[in-house]
């Protein structure tokens, strides 16, 4: 079985060719790539605005649950 690549933002299935050739890989489009950038920016701002030592463990747990892929 070949794992179907999907856009991490909108979950649109990508063909192997699309995934390999896309300028926006691993995203399906420039729009989704930008959404991802904004999402990370928003997350950083939210953490800065609401920085509270009591909340840090919760934030770290939340980040882990996102299934972040380093590769």
14, 6 Cβ separation under 8 angstroms: yes
Judged by CB, which is closer to Zn ion: 13, or 56? 13
Shortest spacing between CB 16 and Zn ion, in angstroms: 16
Residue keyed to tokens 């920085």: 51
Judged by CB, which is closer to Zn ion: 22, or 32? 32
Both tokens assigned to 56: 């840090």
Shortest spacing between CB 31 and Zn ion, in angstroms: 7
User: Do you find a cis peptide bond into 64, omega within 30 degrees of 0?
Assistant: no
Q: Which residues are near Zn ion by CB under 5 A? A: 7, 9-10, 12, 28, 32
Judged by CB, which is closer to Zn ion: 61, or 69? 69
Shortest spacing between CB 7 and Zn ion, in angstroms: 3
- Angular region, 32: left φ>0, alpha ψ -120 to 50, beta rest: alpha
């Amino acid at each position: 079985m070949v794992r179907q690549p999907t856009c991490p933002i909108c979950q649109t299935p990508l063909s192997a060719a699309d995934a390999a050739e896309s300028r926006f890989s691993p995203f399906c489009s420039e729009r989704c790539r930008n959404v991802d950038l904004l999402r990370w920016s928003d997350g950083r701002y939210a953490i800065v605005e609401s920085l509270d030592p009591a909340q840090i463990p919760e934030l770290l747990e939340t980040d882990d649950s996102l299934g972040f892929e380093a590769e």
